Structure formats: C-alpha cells, structure tokens
Amino acid sequence: MSNDNIILTTKDFTILEVLRDRHHDQTGLLMPLIRNKMEKAIVVFREDLPGNIASINSRVRFRVAAGESDTRVISTGQTHGPVGMFLPITTLRGLALLGLREGQAMSLVNMNGVTEKIVLEKVEYQPEASRREREALGQEELTAGRKPMLRVISGGLDGHRCMSSFVAGGFDDPGPSAA
C-alpha cells in the first residue's frame, strides 16, 4: 500500500466508516484497505477538495499495472446502471482509487494473491469541482430559485364534467382519417 496522502471529503470518509462497520468482508482483503485509507486520510469539506482527487461519483481514468486504461465512475455500490460503467468502493480497485490524486499509484493484493499497482491517470469529472463551477457561474442560484413548471392541484376536476361525448360505437372522434 502507498504512503502517499489520501484526501477524502467528509461525506466519503463517513461512507467508509459505515462500510467498515457494516460490511462483511468475506475475502479479508477489503477491511485492511478501508482502515489504511481512514488512517492516512486528510479529510476536507467538499468545497475544499482539489479537482484532481478521485471522490465518490467521480469519473476516473485508471490503469492497472501496464494494462490498458479504463474509465469508470467510482460508486458506493448501490447504483443500478449499465454493467461496466461503475466501479464500486466495495471492490478493491474502486476502494484503492478513492482519495487518490491524478498520477498517484497504490499497490494492493488482489483476490488471487497477486500484488497489482493501480494508477489514477485522470479525474475526468468530479461532482465537487462541477458544483464549484456552477456556483462560480451563478447557475446554482438560478436552479435553486426556479419554480416548478407543473403545479399539481388536488381535486382539480371535482365538480367538472368531462366534455367528451359518446356514441354507440365509442368516442365521437372521427380520427386522423377525417383530417
């Protein structure tokens, strides 16, 4: 495992705490990595997270050993999306990438007992950085102050009759052929 700093948001750190307390690690490989991340973590508010750090819901490009680059979204494992799009932190690789800085690597022992080096090449999207950009552009205030376009009125049709007429064969609508 790497001696480099791990940077986590308060939210990501809390999720790791819950994972540590509730997860049943059948392999015995995940818990040491969770503890290592939590012990070495520098915990920051989401506003203070540098844009080149992998956080939960970040889309990252990474490489394992000398293999091909792969792009995934780091998730909590509770997402229901296309297979191959997400990399849950309940997996060794997903957990290893969490909190790394672009260019930073971490070595871990995989399920086969082989040590592999995983490198975070690029953080392609980070929700915290995206939020800061929206706030800087003033878009956050626009979306927060916007009123919904649809207003539901309870009992809106009470006392009103439906204006369609019926004939013996169904609705009194000649259909598209009448046009």
Residue 40 Cα to chain centre, angstroms: 23
Classified as helix, coil or strand, 16 is helix
Task: State the residue for tokens 């001696």.
Answer: 3
What is the rounded average pLDDT of the residues 50-69?
96
pTM for the complete prediction? 0.74
Nearest to 8 by CA among 109, 126, 160: 126
> Could you give the domains of the chain?
4-130 (3.10.50.30)
What is the DSSP pairing of strand 115-125 with strand 86-88? unpaired
- The pLDDT of residue 144 is 55
What is the DSSP pairing of strand 170-171 with strand 166-167? antiparallel
pLDDT in tens, 108-132: 998 899 999 999 999 999 999 999 8
What is the rounded average pLDDT of the residues 40-47?
96
Tell which wins on pLDDT, 171 or 63: 63
pLDDT in tens, 82-118: 778 999 999 999 999 999 999 999 999 988 999 999 9
pLDDT in tens, 1-39: 444 789 999 999 999 999 999 877 777 889 999 999 999
Tell which wins on pLDDT, 169 or 46: 46
CA dist., res. 47 & res. 131, Å (int): 9
Does the pLDDT of residue 75 top 50, yes or no?
A: yes
What is the rounded average pLDDT of the residues 156-178?
52
Encoded tokens for 81: 């999306």
Does the pLDDT of residue 177 top 90, yes or no?
A: no
Q: How confident is the model at residue 141 (pLDDT cuts 50, 70, 90)?
A: low
CA dist., res. 36 & res. 2, Å (int): 9
Q: Positive or negative, the Cα torsion across 131, 135, 141, 146?
A: negative
Q: How confident is the model at residue 136 (pLDDT cuts 50, 70, 90)?
A: confident
Helix H or strand E encompassing 117: strand 115-125
Q: How confident is the model at residue 79 (pLDDT cuts 50, 70, 90)?
A: low
- The pLDDT of residue 2 is 45
CA dist., res. 57 & res. 49, Å (int): 14
